Amino acid sequence: MGLFDKFQKTQESLNSLRGYSQSFFNVVLEEIISSTEAVINGRPTILAGTNNYLGMPHRKECIEAACRAIEEQGTGTTGSRMANGTYSIHVELEQAISRFLQKRHTIVFTTGYSANLSILSTVVGPKDIVILDADCHASIYDGCRLGGVQVYRFRHNDMADLEKRLKRLTKKGTNILIAVEGLYSMLGDRAPLKEIADLKKEYGAYLLVDEAHSLGVLGEKGRGLAEEAGVEDQVDFVIGTFSKSLGSVGGYCSSDHQELELLRFTSRPYVFTASSSPANIAAARKALEIIEKEPELRERLWANANMLYGRLKEMNFQLGPEPSPIIPVRFREIPRAFEAWNGLLERGVYVNMVLPPATPDGTALLRCSLSAAHTPEQVEQIARAFEDIRHLA
């Protein structure tokens, strides 16, 4: 058996899927016009699949902050946080996130993926248990795998199933960490966090919430689902990323547990990864300031999300369970999903297509993500494009 023989099935699947669409596998944003528009295949296209919830990548203040950081501190740190890669702006951003989230401690990581990898491979280990929602992000699963922790899944947002596992596993007398997300990235639905926090307290577990898609989106101050649900004091670890609402690259973990600081010496992904570039850190910090000062961004985001969700529901598309900036449109047949995706792109609208096994229920999804930067006219154009292809659903 050759080294690459294991990839034969992958190659066969790709060959089969290319029969539905050649462009799906080589989409290139040839020119970036704004946070909501780009040129794709030579055509101006509305971007409705970017996770750019608040339009930060093109905010003048964020661009200027990133440029200043490059001019003053260079393009990269060339070292890990444990070596020469901790600049004053890294520490200042950690302090700013702690203040914003009202947590005592924060560690900034190079990516959101490495934040989950670091926490779940270090805080818990082979003698501990993680009970996670079945729809959790791959980085949560990968962190558990790296740490060799015992993993048990409960059915997505099913509190009876979660409690059944808690009842059984607490008898083992070991530490249990419950891991969930704020907004789930495929279906755009919220975790029932108040009920989860109550179970966490009843059974003496710990709670980790990945707020990657809910930071800046949920809560009166934009702190995420924990704020909206009123359970921030019950969350032991808040994980997040800079690559969604903050429009940069990086990640963080915040906690009231003083022991979080020990991860700076024990977490391999933290110790052995070069730190975030000054430009990314500066842009993220400026975006955080804007989120605090401009709550109207969330209002615009939700107005756009509710508008598109309502229009697509009127067309009888099968959508996610609730309005959200993440709006999945489900297709039972993969060929029809490809035809619909191609049809949208031809009409100047780009969305994400997600195929099994990445989808939670085996269906294909055309996944829209709305932004505060979308104009009502753009949202209407997206809706009209979907109307043209609704016979395929």
Our answer to whether residue 244 is catalytic in this structure is yes
Is 22's pLDDT higher than 90?
no
> pLDDT for 341-354, tens place per residue?
999 999 999 999 99
- For residue 199, pLDDT beyond 80: yes
**Residue range 185-194: mean pLDDT, rounded:** 96
**Has residue 258 got a pLDDT over 90?**
yes
* Mean pLDDT, range 102-128, rounded to an integer: 97
Please calculate the CA angle 328-333-337 and round it to the nearest 5 degrees: 50
Which of 385, 351, 374, 60 is closest to 188 using CA atoms?
Answer: 351
Number of C-beta neighbours around residue 168 at 10 A: 10
Residue intervals in the chain for CATH 3.90.1150.10: 5-58+295-392
Per DSSP, the residues of 179-221 read EEESB-TTT-PBP-HHHHHHHHHHTT-EEEEE-TTTTTTSSSS
Element (H, E) at 106: strand 105-109
Whole-angstrom Cα distance, residue 308 to residue 379?
6
Annotated catalytic residue 293: no
What is the Cα–Cα distance from 255 to 105, expressed in whole angstroms?
5
Give percent of the chain above pLDDT 90: 91
In which element (H, E) is residue 32 found?
strand 31-32
**Residue type at 282 in one-letter notation:** A
302 contact partners, CB below 8 Å, separation of at least 6: 323, 325
Q: Is the pLDDT reported for residue 23 higher than 80? A: no
**Does the domain made of 74-293 have the CATH classification 3.40.640.10?**
yes
In the block, which residue shows the tokens 């809706």?
Answer: 383
Of 200, 244, 286, 374, the catalytic one is: 244
Question: Could you identify the residue written with the tokens 């946070």?
Answer: 35
Helix, strand, or coil here: 127? Answer: coil
Q: Residue 204: left if φ>0, alpha if ψ -120 to 50, beta else—which one? A: left
What was the pLDDT predicted at 371?
98
Please write the tens of the pLDDT for every residue from 338-393.
999 999 999 999 999 998 888 877 789 999 999 999 999 999 999 999 999 999 87
Task: Spot the catalytic one: 213, 243, 254, 255.
Answer: 213
Higher-confidence residue of 25 and 96: namely 96
Chain segment 224-251, per-residue pLDDT in tens: 999 999 999 999 999 999 999 999 999 9
Q: Does residue 24 register a pLDDT over 90?
A: no
CA-based nearest residue to 288, from 221, 208, 190? 221
Please state, rounded to an integer, the average pLDDT across all residues of the chain: 96
Structure confidence by residue, pLDDT tens digits, 131-156:
999 999 999 999 999 999 999 999 99
Worst-scoring range by mean pLDDT, 66-70, 274-278, 333-337?
A: 333-337
pLDDT of residue 186: 93
State the catalytic residue, choosing from 121, 139, 185, 243.
Answer: 185
Close Cβ partners of 162 (under 8 Å, ≥ 6 residues apart): 131, 154, 178, 196, 199
pTM for the complete prediction? 0.95
Task: Give CA–CA dist 220/92, Å, rounded.
Answer: 24
Residue 295: pLDDT over 80: yes
- 164 included as an active-site residue: no
Pairing of strands 129-133, 150-154: parallel
How far apart (Å, rounded) are the C-alpha atoms in residues 180 and 245?
19
Cβ(362)–Cβ(287) under 8 Å? no
Q: Where in the chain is the domain with CATH 3.40.640.10?
A: 74-293
Strand 251-255 relative to strand 105-109: parallel, antiparallel, unpaired? antiparallel
Confidence at residue 267, expressed as pLDDT on a 0 to 100 scale = 96
* Assigned superfamily of 5-58+295-392: Aspartate Aminotransferase, domain 1 (3.90.1150.10)
